[in-house]
Amino acid sequence: MSGHRTVIDVYYEDTDCGGVVYYANYLRYFERARTRLLADRGVDAARWMREGALFTVYRAEVDYKGPAMYGDRLIVETCVGEIKGSRLTFWYTVTRERDGMVTATGLTRMACVGGAMKPRRIPDEILERLA
């Protein structure tokens, strides 16, 4: 598994009334990081959508380790995990840039689906780019 780094700046809109990143926003950060990883590896998600290969999240997990605050800069390390048939897993570790503290870890399990949202094998071109 090779990692990919995405930088996320924490804005006021990302936080709760105490200035702490709202828990659900970590899923948004995972989405941004995963999208960036795919793009940087040459996977054009919009193209594949047009060609009938959509990726849907069927499981998401987040383990909260410590707070991230308004004004923090976060580093999301994303790794491609198991790839099998129509499924793949992405792993995430989120750290605060200022002190290296891990604020969250998690994963998303994805399914490649085609017409009528039926599972389909992940196209070989995508597999090659994720290897």
Report how far residue 46's alpha carbon sits from residue 17's, in angstroms, rounded to the nearest whole number: 36
Burial of residue 14, with CB atoms counted within 10 A of its CB: 0-12 exposed, 13-18 middle, 19 or more buried: buried
Collapsing DSSP to helix, strand or coil, 56 comes out as: strand
Which CATH code, of 3.10.129.10, 3.40.50.12780, 3.20.20.105, 3.30.565.10, is assigned to 3-130?
A: 3.10.129.10
Model pLDDT for residues 76-96, shown as the tens digit of each residue: 999 999 999 999 999 999 999
Model pLDDT for residues 13-69, shown as the tens digit of each residue: 999 999 999 999 999 999 999 999 999 999 999 999 999 999 999 999 999 999 999
Is 16 among the catalytic positions? yes
Please tell me which residue in 9, 16, 40, 63 is annotated as part of the active site: 16
pTM (whole model) above 0.85: yes
